[in-house]
Amino acid sequence: MAKIVNSRCVLAVCDLPVSTRYYVDVLGFSEDPVRAEGWSFLSRDGFRVMLGECVGERPAGELGNHSYYVHWLVDNADELYAEFASKGALLTSFPANKPWGLREFGLKTPDGHRIVCGQVV
């Protein structure tokens, strides 16, 4: 049977240089060697994302509850929160234990895409 060997989320962003710098400088991603006009290919650990510049499109932050795009399962939510906070991440909630057995916190990107980070407790 054929297998999915990797994946990459694809996000529309209004300002590619601003979003790319946020992922690299604040969230600790690296730029991949892949190059294409109007795109950034980024990775951190096992997570990969493609940012595509869509000037003039409605930003994700205007979508309300529909702007969530990913939940990252992490090995240390408090440490990651501290890392992001020290770099000026757009944090939306503090780490807290949830009834579903995860310690989670939230953040968002310059375009308003929301990310939840959770650690199994």
In this prediction, what percent of the chain has a pLDDT beyond 70? 100
Quote the pLDDT of residue 68.
85
Is position 48 within any domain?
A: yes
Is position 2 within any domain?
A: no
Is position 68 within any domain?
A: yes
| CATH number, domain containing residue 92 | 3.10.180.10
User: What's the domain count of the chain?
Assistant: 1
Say which residue the tokens 């057995």 belong to. Answer: 101
Is position 4 within any domain?
A: no
Is position 3 within any domain?
A: no
Quote the pLDDT of residue 9.
93
Q: 61 pLDDT exceeds 90?
A: no
Is position 41 within any domain?
A: yes
- For range 41-59, the mean pLDDT: 94
Is position 74 within any domain?
A: yes
Q: 6 pLDDT exceeds 90?
A: no
**What confidence tier does 65 reach under pLDDT thresholds 50, 70, 90?**
confident
Quote the pLDDT of residue 67.
84
For residue 102, list its beta bridge partners.
120
* Contact by Cβ (8 Å): 105, 96: yes
Quote the pLDDT of residue 102.
97
Burial 41-69 (b: 16+ CB within 10 A, else e): bbeeeeeebebebeeeeebbbeeeeebeb
Is position 35 within any domain?
A: yes
Quote the pLDDT of residue 57.
87
User: What range does the domain containing 116 cover?
Assistant: 9-120
For residue 70, list its beta bridge partners.
115
- Which is higher by pLDDT, 101 or 66? 101
